[in-house]
Amino acid sequence: MTESPNGRAAQHTVTIRPEPSGGPPRPSEPLLSELSVAGRCGQRLPMPDVPVTPLPSGSLLRPALPLPELSEPEVVRHFTRLSQLNYAVDTGFYPLGSCTMKHNPKIDDEMAGLPGFAGLHPYQPAEMVQGALRLMWELERALAEITGFSAVTLQPAAGAHGELAGMLMIRAHHLARGETARRRVLVPDSAHGTNPATAAMCGYEAVTVPSDARGNVDLAALERLLGPDVAALMITVPSTLGLFDERMLDMTAAVHAAGALVYGDGANLNALLGIARPADLGLDVLHINLHKTFAQPHGGGGPGAGPVAVRADLEPYLPVPVVRRVGEGVYDLAYDRPQSIGQVRAFGGHFGVLVRAYTYIRLLGADGLRRVSEAAVLHANYLRAALREWYDVAYDRPCMHEVLLSGRRQKAAGARTLDVAKRLIDYGFHPPTIYFPLVVDEALMIEPTETEAKPTLDAFVAAMAAIAREAASTPDVLHAAPHDTPVGRLDEATAARHPVLRWPQTPAPRAESGEPPSATRASR
């Protein structure tokens, strides 16, 4: 039990989940194909009330449509039961590093679902969508103000998509100045994999810059690598090590002195709201992850959005169309932008995500945004202080919004970071990020976010401490974890060697018999 400051015992206790009862395994939820029965239907549509036009020639039509057949009650139960197999932010603590699994305010979803937004077609004339255009305009201004940049595009669909747009704009900038020799992009060894992947997609050679023992980019190594053949340095601020670079301004100045630009991966912006503006730190382009910092729900792996903010002289390269204010309270979309990198997505950006981010920013305001980052950094440092008794902390200085640990001590005792992670599941927590970043052995990266209450953080610390003790005394308990989940550890090697990536295919119907296609599934 933890004591709260006013003397009463806090409500939270660590529940140590029991060992498995030894009863029959829970049956798994069947697939739609396994639930299907011919003749069932879950939705009817009205019959068209117009004279019938004959269908096109049979050679253009499909002979069979092998989809599962279910009724609505079965569909609802199937997906409801499947949802119950998921752990989520709405369920509990989800401290994945650099993912910012913060609470998603429910009002955001309600606003995105308003018919005045959901029912808009992207090709409706500007006069019909002034509310939507104004929302986009105000969101752009807010993101520009928060990050210190001049111009913003809301078009990219995700962070990596924003990286693509941002790096294409950097490429356009160099080409416009005739600098065709700049074919290399520098990427720290701690970088997220999307950074070098994006560089390669833009035709650049990704070159790794090492980090030093304090978790900074090695400035001397950087300066040796900079030259007339370098287009950009891609950095995450704070870094994926959870640290703010101690030579940040020197680093960005060195890049500029070499005629290159600094690309900012904004995945960790949750540490900087009202604390520092990336533009003030010397960044030239920054993508923002609305599904991290600005509370768009993660959805099991998207949708997100990756707006990109740029300094003033890069504005001409923004993707089209660009939102413009053309009069007092009047907005439109501009397409005639000859220097634009073009479109990175048809029909514009993820408007539904933009509505949520806008609502979130209005809820928080300038004061609230700063409190978000203060609390995010406070919570991470609190965990750092509490956990260092049990785990190696990778870097010996205060962290920002996430703390990087190493499972070295536990590995020496016979339990790896993977086993610690799986055992945390038994304690009712989602594991942190593991084995990333690559530069730390047995990495465990923990980002608590600002929306967690102290009792939760304390319960997490207690669980991590218990696991550390187990690792030292009975590591087999960790090796066998998790113990009470719908499935145990899955054999990923066999899954990759002999991939089964879809349910079995329905056999093609026998054309001569005239029978309707069977809805039952034959095994392969």
Partner 1 sequence: MTPDDRRYSSEHEWAKLDGGEVTVGITDFAQEQLGDVVYVELPSVGDQLKQGRVMGVVESVKAASDLYSPVSGEVIAINDAVVSEPQKLNDAPYADGWLIRVRPDNPGELDNLMTAAQYDLHVSDRGPEE
Partner 2 sequence: MPFVPTTDAERAAMLERIGARSTDELFEVIPSPVRFPRLALPPGEPELTVARRVQALAAANRPAAQMACFLGAGTYHHYVPAAVRALVSRGEFLTSYTPYQPEISQGTLQTTFEFQSLVCDLLGMDVANAGMYDGSTALAEAVLMAERITHRTRVVLAGGVHPEYRNVVATYVAERGTELVASEVTVADAMLCEADPAALLDEQTACCVVQQPSFFGRIGDWAALRAACNRVGALLIIVCNPLALGLLKPPGEWGADIAVAEAQPLGIAMEYGGPWVGMMATREKYLRQLPGRIVGEAHDAAGRRGYVLTLQAREQHIRREKATSNICTSEALLALHTTIYLSLLGPAGLRQAAESCYQYAHYAAAEIARLPGFQVLTPEPFFHEFVVRGPRPPDAMNRRLLAADILGGLPLGRFFPALADCTLYCCTEMNTRAEIDELIRVLSEP
* Interface positions, 480-509, toward partner 1 (CB under 8 A): 492-493, 496-497
Q: Whose Cβ is closer to partner 2: residue 3's or residue 441's?
A: 3
Radius of gyration of the chain (CA): 26
Residue 281 as a binder of partner 2 (CB under 8 A): the answer is yes
Closest contact distance (angstroms) between CB of 127 and partner 2 is 8
Closest contact distance (angstroms) between CB of 416 and partner 1 is 11
Token pair, residue 177, equals 């100045």
Which one of the spans 11-19, 146-154, 322-330, 438-446 is the region binding partner 1 (CB under 8 A)?
A: 438-446
* Interface positions, 200-219, toward partner 2 (CB under 8 A): 200-203, 206
Residue 375 as a binder of partner 2 (CB under 8 A): the answer is yes
What does 441 bind: partner 2, partner 1, none (CB cut-off 5 to 8 Å by kind)?
A: partner 1
Closest contact distance (angstroms) between CB of 499 and partner 1 is 9
Q: Whose Cβ is closer to partner 2: residue 14's or residue 89's?
A: 89
Q: Is 167 exposed, middle or buried (0-12, 13-18, 19+ CB in 10 A)?
A: buried
* Interface positions, 38-67, toward partner 2 (CB under 8 A): 40-53, 55-57, 59-62, 65-67
What is the distance of C-alpha 292 from the center of its chain?
Answer: 6
Closest contact distance (angstroms) between CB of 187 and partner 2 is 8
Q: Whose Cβ is closer to partner 1: residue 346's or residue 501's?
A: 501
Instruction: Pinpoint the alpha helices (H) of 304-407.
Output: 351-387
What does 430 bind: partner 2, partner 1, none (CB cut-off 5 to 8 Å by kind)?
A: partner 2
Which one of the spans 87-95, 225-233, 308-316, 404-412 is the region binding partner 2 (CB under 8 A)?
A: 87-95
Q: Whose Cβ is closer to partner 1: residue 140's or residue 442's?
A: 442
Q: Whose Cβ is closer to partner 2: residue 371's or residue 411's?
A: 371
Closest contact distance (angstroms) between CB of 435 and partner 1 is 6
What does 2 bind: partner 1, partner 2, none (CB cut-off 5 to 8 Å by kind)?
A: none
Residue 137 as a binder of partner 1 (CB under 8 A): the answer is no
Residue with tokens 């090492």: 210
What does 194 bind: partner 2, partner 1, none (CB cut-off 5 to 8 Å by kind)?
A: partner 2
* Interface positions, 291-310, toward partner 2 (CB under 8 A): 291, 297-305
Conformation bin of residue 118: beta by default, left when phi > 0, alpha when psi is -120 to 50: alpha
Closest contact distance (angstroms) between CB of 460 and partner 2 is 13
- Structural contact between residues 390 and 420, judged by C-beta atoms closer than 8 angstroms: no
Dihedrals phi, psi of 192, to nearest 5 degrees: -65, 145
Q: Is 194 exposed, middle or buried (0-12, 13-18, 19+ CB in 10 A)?
A: buried
Token pair, residue 205, equals 């050679």
Token pair, residue 239, equals 């870094």
Nearest Cα residue to 304 out of 284, 287, 290: 290
Distance in Å from the first CA to the final CA of the chain:
54
Residue 438 as a binder of partner 1 (CB under 8 A): the answer is yes
* Interface positions, 118-177, toward partner 2 (CB under 8 A): 118-125, 128-132, 134-135, 142, 145-146, 148, 157-161, 163-164, 168, 171
Residue 259 as a binder of partner 2 (CB under 8 A): the answer is no
Burial 41-68 (b: 16+ CB within 10 A, else e): eeeeeeeeeeeeeeeeeeeeeeeeebeb
What does 25 bind: partner 1, partner 2, none (CB cut-off 5 to 8 Å by kind)?
A: partner 2
* Interface positions, 396-435, toward partner 1 (CB under 8 A): 435
Which one of the spans 84-92, 224-232, 310-318, 465-473 is the region binding partner 2 (CB under 8 A)?
A: 84-92
Which one of the spans 253-261, 408-416, 449-457, 465-473 is the region binding partner 2 (CB under 8 A)?
A: 449-457
- Structural contact between residues 2 and 12, judged by C-beta atoms closer than 8 angstroms: yes
Counting Cα atoms < 13 Å in the Cβ hemisphere of 105 gives 18
Closest contact distance (angstroms) between CB of 100 and partner 2 is 10
Token pair, residue 215, equals 């978790």
Looking only at the bridges linking them, the beta strands covering 285-288 and 151-153 are: unpaired
* Interface positions, 329-368, toward partner 2 (CB under 8 A): 341-353, 355, 358-359, 361-368
Residues in the chain: 524
Q: Is 206 exposed, middle or buried (0-12, 13-18, 19+ CB in 10 A)?
A: middle
- Contact letters for partner 2, residues 64-83 (x by CB under 8 A): -xxxxxx-x--xx-xxx-xx
Residue 302's CB: how many other CB atoms inside 10 A?
Answer: 14
Q: Is the dihedral of CA 269, 274, 277, 281 positive or negative?
A: negative
Token pair, residue 24, equals 């029959």
In DSSP terms, which residues pair with 135 in a beta bridge?
none
- Residues near partner 1 (CB under 8 A) are 435, 438, 441-442, 492-493, 496-497
